[in-house]
Amino acid sequence: MADGSKQFRPIYHNGTGFVLGDPPGMLPLYRLPELQATSRVYVCEGEKATDAARSIGLTATTSAHGSKSAAKTDWRPLAGRDAVILPDADEAGVQYASTVAAILTRIGCTVRIVRLPDLRNAGDIFDWIE
């Protein structure tokens, strides 16, 4: 948007037509098919950060709808994996990492939260790579 904010309008097909909004139930992880063949997964906050992590060879994912919606995503495909959470350098990033760590721990993941060094406020792995 002109003011720099983001707006997302999810749509899905309900069998008879397209509907504005989320489909019923939990939402899938970003880039889910690519997560199947690895034992370690990096969890970032948002698609841009996830794609940046992937650009340096990491198998990465994120939840749907940003930092306040981790609980709306189905994390079960990661059960039993080694998960490394790379939070954004702000309060929302800290909260997101904590929420995701709790969810992943409940499904048997080994979880580490790694704060990338020298990030500006609200920076993420995209900025760190730059």
Distances (CA, A) of 126 to 6, 18, 38, 93, 129: 17, 33, 22, 14, 5
**CA 2 to chain centroid:** 25
Residue 126: predicted pLDDT: 97
Task: Select the more confidently predicted residue: 8 or 84.
Answer: 84
Contact predicate 65/21, CB 8 Å: no
**pLDDT (tens digit per residue) in 69-126:** 899 999 999 999 999 999 999 999 999 999 999 999 999 999 999 999 999 999 999 9
Residue matched to tokens 């939070």: 87
- Backbone phi, psi, residue 91, to 5°: -65, -40
44 vs 24, residue with greater confidence: 44
